[in-house]
Structure 1
Amino acid sequence: MRIELTLADLVRVGLAAAADPMGELAASLQVLQRRDGGRAAASAAFNRWRYRVWQSLPDSAAVLMWLCRPDAPIPEFLLPAAGRYELESGLTAVLKTEPVSLKTALRTAPADRDLPAWAAALADGDTAGLPRLVQAMRDYHELALAPAWDTVSGQVDADLGMRTQLLLHGGVDALLTGLRPLVRWEAPALETDDRIAGTVPSEGTGLLLVPTYFSVCPALVPAAPGGTPRLHYPCVRQAAPPAGLGHAAHRASGKALADLLGPTRAAALAVLAVGCSTSELAARLGVTPSAVSKHTTVLRRAGLIITHRERNTVLHSLTPLGSALLDT
Structure 2
Amino acid sequence: MLRIHFADADLGRTRVATRPDPLWEIAASLHRLQSRKGGWAFAGWSRMARQQLREKGLERRVREVLLRLYPRAEYFPDFLTPSNALHGFEAGVESILATPPQRILQEVARLDRTVGAPAWVGRLAEPAMRRELVDLLRAYHEAVVVPYEDEVHAKLEAERAARCRGILDGGVEGMLTTLGPMMRWRPPVLEVSYPTQAPDRDLYLRGRGLTLVPSYFNWAEPVAFADPQLPPVLWYSMLHEPPAEGGDGAGKPLTALLGRARAIALYATSAGATTGEIARAAGVSASSASRHATALRDAGLITTVRQGPAVLHTLTPVGAAMLRAAVRGAGPGLA
Give the TM-score normalised by the residue count of structure 1.
0.70
Structure 1 pair 119–228 and aligned structure 2 pair: CA distance change class (3 A): closer
Alpha-carbon contact 2:75-2:226 (below 8 Å) kept: no
AA matched with 1:101: R
Structure 1 pair 285–97 and aligned structure 2 pair: CA distance change class (3 A): same
- For residues 184-223 of structure 1, what are the structure 2 equivalents within 5 Å? 184-195=184-195, 196=198, 197-216=200-219, 217-221=221-225
- For residues 1-328 of structure 1, what are the structure 2 equivalents within 5 Å? 1-35=2-36, 40=37, 42-57=38-53, 58=58, 59-62=60-63, 63-110=65-112, 118-122=120-124, 125-195=125-195, 196=198, 197-216=200-219, 217-221=221-225, 228-237=231-240, 272-273=266-267, 281=270, 284-285=272-273, 298-299=291-292, 313-314=318-319
Residue 151 of structure 1 deviates from its aligned partner by 0.9
Q: Deviations over 1:235-266 (max 9, x none)?
A: 1346899xxxxxxxxxxxxxxxxxxxxxxxxx
SS in 2 for 1:313: helix
Within 2, Cα distance between the matches of 1:78 and 1:271?
36
Residue 50 of structure 1 deviates from its aligned partner by 1.4
SS in 1 for 2:239: coil
Residue 201 of structure 1 deviates from its aligned partner by 2.0
Alpha-carbon contact 1:21-1:85 (below 8 Å) kept: no
Q: Deviations over 1:135-160 (max 9, x none)?
A: 11001101110111111111111111
AA matched with 2:137: M
Structure 1 pair 85–306 and aligned structure 2 pair: CA distance change class (3 A): farther
SS in 1 for 2:9: helix
Alpha-carbon contact 1:95-1:130 (below 8 Å) kept: yes
Alpha-carbon contact 2:205-2:232 (below 8 Å) kept: no
Larger mean Cα displacement after TM superposition, 74-83 or 149-158: 74-83
Q: Deviations over 1:189-234 (max 9, x none)?
A: 1111113321112321000111111111101136897x74111111
Structure 1 pair 312–140 and aligned structure 2 pair: CA distance change class (3 A): closer
Alpha-carbon contact 2:108-2:117 (below 8 Å) kept: no
Q: Provide the residue aligned with 1:290 in structure 2.
A: none
Within 2, Cα distance between the matches of 1:4 and 1:151?
33
SS in 2 for 1:133: helix
Within 2, Cα distance between the matches of 1:170 and 1:113?
45
AA matched with 2:48: R
Structure 1 pair 173–151 and aligned structure 2 pair: CA distance change class (3 A): same
Question: Structure 1 vs Structure 2: percent identity of aligned residues?
Answer: 29
Alpha-carbon contact 2:52-2:144 (below 8 Å) kept: no
AA matched with 2:318: T
AA matched with 1:20: D
Within 1, Cα distance between the matches of 2:117 and 2:31?
19
Structure 1 pair 222–203 and aligned structure 2 pair: CA distance change class (3 A): farther
Give the TM-score normalised by the residue count of structure 2.
0.69
* Structure 2: runs of 5 or more not aligned: 245-261, 276-287, 302-315, 324-335
Alpha-carbon contact 2:183-2:190 (below 8 Å) kept: yes
Within 2, Cα distance between the matches of 1:213 and 1:74?
19
RMSD: 3.6
SS in 1 for 2:235: strand
Q: Provide the residue aligned with 1:323 in structure 2.
A: none
Q: Provide the residue aligned with 1:263 in structure 2.
A: none
AA matched with 2:210: L
Q: Deviations over 1:85-141 (max 9, x none)?
A: 3111111111111111112222232489995x643533xx44441011101100110
Alpha-carbon contact 1:23-1:84 (below 8 Å) kept: no
Structure 1 pair 167–239 and aligned structure 2 pair: CA distance change class (3 A): farther
Structure 1 pair 64–300 and aligned structure 2 pair: CA distance change class (3 A): same
Alpha-carbon contact 1:19-1:212 (below 8 Å) kept: yes
The number of residue pairs the alignment matches comes to: 268
Within 2, Cα distance between the matches of 1:126 and 1:213?
32
SS in 2 for 1:107: helix
Larger mean Cα displacement after TM superposition, 180-189 or 47-56: 47-56
Within 2, Cα distance between the matches of 1:137 and 1:65?
12
SS in 2 for 1:273: helix
Within 2, Cα distance between the matches of 1:211 and 1:174?
17
